[in-house]
Amino acid sequence: MLNTAWMIDMELQTLIYLVVGATFALYIGIAIWANAKTTGDFYIAGKGVHPIVNGMATGADWMSAASFISMAGLISYLGYEAGVYLMGWTGGYVLLAMLLAPYLRKFGKFTVPEFISDRYYSRAARVIAVLCLIFISFTYVAGQMRGVGIVFSRFLELPIDQGLYLGMGIVFIYSVIGGMKGITYTQVAQYIVLMFAYSVPAIFMAIQFTGNPIPQIAFGSQMSDGSGFLLDALDKTLLDLGFNAYTEPFNDKSMIDVAAITLALMVGTAGLPHVIVRFFTVPKVSDARKSAGWALIFIALLYTTAPVVGSLSRLNIINSINGPDNSGTAYTDMPSWFQTWESSGLLGWFDHNGDGKLQYAAGKAFAGEGKPVFDAEQRGTLGERIITNPSEGKVVNNAPFANEIYVDRDIMVLASPEIAQLPNWVIALIAAGGVAAALSTAAGLLLVISASISHDLLKSTFMHKISEKNELRASRITSAFAILVAGYLGLHPPAFVAQVVAFAFGLAASSLFPVLIMGIFSKRMNKYGAICGMLTGLVFTMGYIIYFKGIFIEPMAANTAENWLFGISPEGIGAIGMCLNFSVAFIVSSLTPAPPQSVQNMVERIRLPNAAAAAHDH
């Protein structure tokens, strides 16, 4: 029996190595083929990317580890309230496509800070924009590197630090050699991998639970066991275990917090430099609009699948742990997936009542987290956690039902194929998809950081006479340094993947989005208003996040709703930072001289169609 199980595990592990290894070889091969020879190739792929190709690359750049790994996990836990991520991220992309992308492409430069520098006729504005961009990008990339660590630690059976080093090496090769040209075509391949990897398990689970192979339709279908519609069955299951109803709004988040997070994610999306720069890679302004439309289609395929993946994953794990009658499953009867994830430290069990059974219900089984430690008496490697009092569990059926399970929300998508006992090749696909999602966005972010430092700081600010060859060399050196910093952040992430990404969106919403919008649609906005607005938004939002979340320092206040400003969490505070940015910028601008006439004319040209702009110049 043991030999058979060992052979099955070896078959799975071999498949994972083969599939993930093949995708790595593909990414590196594309980078070598697309070797960037000029700064134009390195920064914006020579402005020669077809709109459909750019739309697919944008989709991969956009659908990061937060979308692939963490978003469905959030939906599975939060239910209704996790809709903020769906609404904010997709709505923000529409905002970006309509209000920013065509105008910035028409401006025709390499980077977002370059637009800000020319529009606000100020080197200081460029430097501040670079600082904002670096803070945003490094915060974002921390979430991607955590995703890489999670995938590698489980599927490649590597320690998290070694998995991160491997991921850093892969990104180094195809971003430093290929630049934006290599990243673009690599991201096309990564989109195909991650979308296939996300859809196949969703189809399998949809068939298992509802008999309908189309996940989006299965979400509103009847359950195969006759227990009613999917969401009704999930509501009933959760209520029986002491949880809040899945479809009930505002359980964990207030209405104002939900609105603030949605707004912060939406406008933050429109201010993300690694997404904006994708629209600089197409030949024409009209192509920017077309690629935005294609990207929205490609993104919608995953985002309309995520709710059903989250819902079925929650049912999946409850049924597997608690059994058909919610009486619990003996630890000795649990499939191998439980011990495998338990060894990673992302899943844990403590037998409160000593009956040898796992019981998953409302209430915290553990308080605090630490490095996994080996305990021979407690089934091997466990998370180092403090046991809470069983009475903290909610009362179910007139008796205290203490939760005995700790589940990290970032494993919900990755573990679902194993829990559902899907074929090994599906599990291997999930591994490849998770890696593709994290690496595609990480590469885009690291390139933006590199371009900002080498082009906006060195070439345009401090070393005007640097040759193109030396600028390209500086870009590659900067990319290598950025990868090292990203790896450190992956080893010491401040929170789970989607939450870290939400912080990055808040920073983008409060710093870059307002100056970009005002730079396009307000001729009166001057450099003084833009600089003061950016600094106000960035300092306020970053200070709020650090104060409550303790990122890089110990938290200085309890992270609870009663202590938040207006009841808005750190994930949503970017909306307030944005309002402060706009307010300060308009006040300062109104009290200081108007921009030069040449700048005002430039704003007119950016907004007008080409023929009208030409007539306007004459």
What pLDDT does residue 550 have? 60
Among 1-10, 104-113, 170-179, the least confident range: 1-10
Q: Does pLDDT of 234 surpass 80?
A: yes
In the predicted model, is pLDDT for residue 213 greater than 80?
A: yes
**Across 146-151, average pLDDT:** 70
What's residue 586's pLDDT?
A: 94
In SS3 terms, 524-551 reads as CCCHHHHHHHHHHHHHHHHHHHHHHHCC
pLDDT (mean) for 59-77: 76
pLDDT at 382: 35
Most confident of 66-80, 377-391, 399-413: 66-80
Distance (Å, whole) CA 245 – CA 99: 38
The pLDDT of residue 593: 92
Give the pair of three-digit tokens for residue 281. 């890679």
**Sign, Cα dihedral of 505, 506, 507, 512:** positive
**Would you kindly state where each structural domain of the chain is located, as residue ranges?**
2-312+423-494, 324-410
| Helical segments of 460-496, H only | 468-491
Which helix (H) or strand (E) covers residue 357, if one does? strand 357-358
Tokens of 193: 């991998």
Residues 375-389, mean pLDDT to the nearest whole number: 35
Q: Tell whether the model's pLDDT for residue 5 goes beyond 50.
A: no
What is the tens place of the pLDDT at every residue in 484-494? Answer: 777 777 776 65
Q: Which carries the bigger pLDDT value, residue 77 or residue 490? A: 77
> How do 347-349 and 405-407 pair as beta strands?
antiparallel
Segment 207-223 shows an average pLDDT of 88
Rounded percentage of the chain residues whose pLDDT exceeds 70: 76
- Count of alpha carbons within 13 Å of 552, Cβ hemisphere only? 11
Q: Quick one: pLDDT band at residue 177, thresholds 50, 70, 90?
A: low
527-580 per-position pLDDT tens digit: 999 999 999 998 998 888 877 776 544 444 556 667 788 888 888 889 999 999
Write phi, then psi, for 168 (nearest 5 degrees): -60, -40
pLDDT value at position 398?
40
Question: In CATH, which of 3.30.70, 1.25.40, 1.10.4160, 1.10.3470 is domain 2-312+423-494?
Answer: 1.10.4160
Task: Residue 125: name the closest of 585, 586, 594, 596 by CA.
Answer: 585
**The pLDDT value given to residue 528:** 94
- Where is average pLDDT lowest: 356-370, 419-433, 466-480? 356-370
Is residue 609's pLDDT more than 70? no
Q: Which letter does DSSP use for residue 229 in this model?
A: B
CA dist 298 → 188, 235, 385, 443, 613 (Å): 11, 31, 41, 19, 33
Over range 460-482, report the average pLDDT. Answer: 71
511 vs 442, residue with greater confidence: 511
Looking at 54-58, 173-177, 548-552, which range is the least confident one? 548-552
The highest-confidence range among 222-231, 409-418, 557-566, by mean pLDDT, is 222-231
Asked whether the beta carbons of 334 and 97 are under 8 A apart, the reply is: no
| 93-133 confidence digits (pLDDT tens) | 788 777 887 787 777 666 778 888 888 988 888 888 888 88
Asked if residues 120 and 532 have their Cβ atoms less than 8 Å apart, the reply is no
Is the pLDDT score of 381 beyond 70? Answer: no
Query: Which residues in 276-297 are b (16+ Cβ under 10 Å) and which e?
Result: bbbbbbbeebebbbbbbebbbe
pLDDT-based confidence at 468, cuts 50/70/90? low
Nearest to 152 by CA among 171, 165, 139: 165
Predicted confidence at residue 37, as pLDDT, reads 64
Arithmetic mean of pLDDT, 148-173: 72
pLDDT of residue 558: 56
Mean pLDDT, the chain, rounded, equals 76
Provide the pLDDT for residue 584.
Answer: 96
Distance between alpha carbon 305 and the CA centroid of its chain, in Å?
A: 16
What's the confidence (pLDDT) of residue 481? 78
Report how far residue 263's alpha carbon sits from residue 573's, in angstroms, rounded to the nearest whole number: 10
Distance CA 439, CA 431 (A): 12
Cα→Cα distances 111→223, 311, 414, 581, Å = 50, 40, 35, 21
DSSP 365-402: SEE-----EEEGGGTEEE---EEPPGGGSPEETTEE--
**In this model, does residue 300 exceed pLDDT 70?**
yes
Q: Which two tokens stand for residue 527?
A: 């450099």
> Which DSSP category does 355 fall into?
S
* Cα–Cα distance, 219 to 373 (Å, whole number): 40
User: In sequence order, what DSSP letters do the residues of 448-468 get, joined into one string?
Assistant: HHHHIIIIIIIIIII-TT--H
**pLDDT top residue among 395 and 323:** 323
Helix, strand and coil percent figures for the chain, each rounded to 5? 70, 5, 25
Q: Within 13 A of 41's CA, how many CA atoms are on the CB side?
A: 19
